[in-house]
Amino acid sequence: MTISRRGLLGAGAAVGLLSACGSNTGRDDGGSGDGPKLSQWYHQYGEQGTEQAVKKYAAAYKKANVSVQWRPGNYDEQTAAALLTASGPDVFEVNGPSLDQIQGKQVADLTELFDGVKDDFNPAVLAPKTYDGRIWGIPQVVDMQMLYYRKSLLSDAGVRPPQTLDELVDAAKKLTSKRTKGLFLGNDGGAGVLGGMPLYAAGLELVTADGKVGFDDPAAARALGKIHQLYADKSLLLGAPADWSDPSAFVQGLTAMQWSGLWALPTVQKELGDDFGVLPFPKDGAEGKPAVPVGAYAAAVSTRSKHQKAGKDFLKWLWIDSTDRQEDFALGYGFHIPARMSLAKKAEKLRKGAAADAVRYTTDHGRAEPLLWTPASRSAYQDALSRIIKDGASPDEELKKVVRKVSAELDRVK
Amino acid sequence: MWGNQNRTLWFWVFVGPFLLGLGVFTYIPLGWSVYLSFFDAHNTVTPDDFVGFGNYRAMLRNEAFTDSLWTFFVFSLFIVPATYALSLALALMVHRQRRAQAFFRSVFFLPAACSYVVAALIWKMSIFNGVRFGLANTVLGWFGGDQIAWLSTTDPPWYWAVIVTVRLWLQAGFYMVLFLAGLQRISPTLYEAAAVDGARPGWQVFRHITFPQLRATSVAVVLLLVINAFQAFDEFYNLLSDSRGYPPYARPPLVYLYHTALGQGQNLGLGSAGAVLLALIIAVVTVGQAKWFGLGRKEAE
């Protein structure tokens, strides 16, 4: 490391500027349409063929010359930095947009594009794209996560698929042996991926409908204490070469149960045949409910774009009008549920087996992170969760600190 | 002749681009960062909500930031003496080597050419992954030991072993070269005089001749090591972060500031305040260290 690099890193904010200075905006790598040049950014998907598919969609649009940038690496950070400058994308997918991006007027209002079709979008993923009654991003697909379990390993150990958090803790312990761990929640022990799941399972919320902290309740500490129990029992797989989003640990037999996404289903099916099942995160306590997290990358228009109107027209064509392309994008390369309910209902691949269970869980138990759950709140909560799980810190005390921080953050953004 | 007449012109031709680069890529961003630190700058680099020292107060009260300084302290405590001792030992070994000295020098220096990112990923995914087929766990298995989740457990904090060894491997060769240069500058007459005085080769000569003669090199090495420890980012980030964030332990200041300012939060005001505070801390520590070592003091004093 050199002094100049220290200067740059130390300068914090400057890096955003610099990355923007040096970035290739993709405006010149050739689309095929006439009209204004639009650059469209996607994060790198794991499924093969997705990149070619989105380039094909862009090439099929004739009213603008759309060039696609397929961006590996920390996509969320890249787009956040690029939106500060004029050299960012015109249209882009975003894991959000975040409340700060909306309040900072970085993304355009897309409400008018939803005329006549708004009710067809899955409300669980449309709600977090809606602020002040306006819609700021078009959900592209619905992604969800669930618990995969290996049927044969459970029956060998005399364990039934867990329906409560206590049963999950018990099952994970019984399924742990010298060679196989009971459960894989990610290499961080679940602090990152679980998010609000244990709280939802205990019948609580991250943020209430009236904008207050939704987990200032003893049930929260009780549920989080049980996640620590999994760690203390040494039932959790930790340090796997591939993290929770990849089903490798599960199909290689390193763990009997794994938390992962619907996108992993084709791989698991291919490797294990029928020897697996899926479950929502199990409920905890009398007031608890099973839960699965749902989320969606949204297509958005940058307000710094010189061609906002053309960008909106393109997004309307792709993510509102072209239902065949939306279905292809959701189901042609990996497993995602189409964001349009009419498409999800008629999708053949989602009608049987574990995929059908996943769709049912999404409908019955799907929970999306609310827009008011800002990155600062998420990061404070994740830190606390990590300390509770791994350090055995007191859930009560950790949650008290988080409640204070989240309350302050809610006051800031409301 | 015409070159002499245009010396000013040539000066600017050669130096100008570098000065321009320095200004554009270092000083303007630095100045801008200081400016941002006095504003509420969420998702903007041109803020208008002046908050005075609010961001500084918030950062100093922020447990995560103070914890990150503690992480730096612990990291320095491990890495500075370990690198110092290892690079000095390697230098002494190579220096005494009569045959194939250049070969050994190159072999030990080679890791310095390796990327921190690549090395961190090899350490994380091959050597110190937490499953039974990781190299370290395989070796433990031979002796009947249990698998260790090296990067995922905090009690005991095995992650320090991974973090320290990767940096040690990467940087020991570079500092070895500095020590080698220092060793070559020691006059042979000193060793001859020591031999005449009856000093035994080995520890006695090292303690009374070699080590004191390496004082200037040692001071430079320790200063560089401490500054480099402050700058720790690449290996920590690649060893411990995932798509969902970074655990609260072993989070050095630059990683914390990166997440604050450039992560999804995009709190550029708070991040800049942290960067300014960190720069001040580095300056104070470096100056303090230099004074303590007597760097720049005249011999006669």
Residues 6+ apart with CB under 8 A from A14: A8, B28, B29, B30, B32, B33
- Å between B298 CA and nearest CA of chain A: 26
Provide the β-strand partners of residue A131: A134
| d(C-alpha B41, C-alpha B261), whole Å | 9
| d(C-alpha A273, C-alpha A353), whole Å | 11
- Mapped onto helix, strand or coil, the DSSP state of residue A38 is strand
Query: Does the pLDDT of residue A30 top 70, yes or no?
Result: no
What's the mean pLDDT in A190-211?
Answer: 94
In what helix (H) or strand (E) does residue A301 lie, and over which residues does it extend? Answer: strand A298-301
Q: How far is CA A139 from CA A72, A322, A340, B252, in A?
A: 21, 14, 9, 36
Residues 6+ apart with CB under 8 A from A374: A98, A99, A100, A409, A413, B265
Residues 6+ apart with CB under 8 A from B37: B55, B56, B269, B272, B273, B275, B276
Query: Does the pLDDT of residue A27 top 50, yes or no?
Result: no
Handedness of CA A319, A325, A330, A333 (dihedral sign): negative
Cα-to-chain-centroid distance, residue A260: 11
For chain B, the straight-line distance linking the first and the last C-alpha, in angstroms and rounded, comes to 47
The pLDDT of residue A15:
34
What is the pTM for the complete model shown? 0.85
The pLDDT of residue B6:
81
The string of pLDDT tens digits covering residues A228-240 is 999 999 999 998 8
- Chain A residues in contact with B134 by the CB 8 A cut-off are 239, 241
| d(C-alpha B195, C-alpha B212), whole Å | 17
A382–B contact, CB cutoff 8 A: yes
Find residues 156-215 of chain B whose CB sits inside 8 Å of chain A.
none
Residue with tokens 């087996």: A353
Percent of chain A residues topping a pLDDT of 90? 79
- Tokens coding A305: 């774009």
Find residues 132-161 of chain B whose CB sits inside 8 Å of chain A.
132, 134, 148-155
CB-CB contact of A332 with A263 (8 Å): no
Q: At what angle do helices A218-232 and A395-413 cross, to 10 degrees?
A: 130
- Å between A235 CA and nearest CA of chain B: 12
What's the mean pLDDT in A69-98?
Answer: 90
Per-residue DSSP letters for A242-298? S-TTSTHHHHTTSEEEEEEEGGGHHHHHHHHTTS-EEEPBPB-STT---BEEEE--E
- Tokens coding A249: 């640990």
Interface test with A, best of B43, B235, B251 (most A CBs within 10 A): B43
Decide if A386 and B43 are in contact by the 8 Å CB cutoff: no
CB-CB contact of A137 with A300 (8 Å): yes
The string of pLDDT tens digits covering residues A316-340 is 999 999 999 999 999 998 889 999 9
| d(C-alpha A210, C-alpha A242), whole Å | 39
- Nearest Cα neighbor of A3 from B161, B227, B292, B185 is B227
| d(C-alpha B163, C-alpha A92), whole Å | 36
Query: Does the pLDDT of residue A29 top 60, yes or no?
Result: no
Query: Does the pLDDT of residue A108 top 50, yes or no?
Result: yes
Query: Does the pLDDT of residue A19 top 80, yes or no?
Result: no
- Å between A7 CA and nearest CA of chain B: 6
Per-residue DSSP letters for A68-116? EEEE-S-HHHHHHHHTTSTTS-SEEEES---HHHHHTT-B---GGGGTT
The pLDDT of residue B53:
97
| d(C-alpha B51, C-alpha B170), whole Å | 42
Decide if A100 and B152 are in contact by the 8 Å CB cutoff: no
- Å between B130 CA and nearest CA of chain A: 4
The string of pLDDT tens digits covering residues A114-148 is 999 999 999 999 999 999 999 999 999 999 999 99
Cα-to-chain-centroid distance, residue B251: 15
Residues 6+ apart with CB under 8 A from A37: A27, A28, A31, A64, A65, A67, A307
The pLDDT of residue A9:
37
A356–B contact, CB cutoff 8 A: no
The pLDDT of residue A14:
37
Residues of chain B with pLDDT under 70: 1-5, 296-301
CB-CB contact of A245 with B243 (8 Å): yes
Cα-to-chain-centroid distance, residue A3: 37
Q: At what angle do helices A375-391 and A218-232 cross, to 10 degrees?
A: 50
| d(C-alpha B64, C-alpha B55), whole Å | 14
- Environment class of B69 (CB within 10 Å of its CB; exposed 0-12, middle 13-18, buried 19+): middle
| d(C-alpha B239, C-alpha B245), whole Å | 12
Under the banding of pLDDT at 50, 70 and 90, the label for residue A4 is very low
The pLDDT of residue A31:
54
ipTM above 0.85, yes or no: no
Per-residue DSSP letters for B119-182? HHHHIIIIIS-SSTTSHHHHHHHHTTPPP--TTT--SS-THHHHHHHHHHHHHHHHHHHHHHHH
Per-residue DSSP letters for A362-380? HHHHEEPPPTTS-HHHHHH
- Nearest Cα neighbor of A65 from A325, A311, A323 is A311
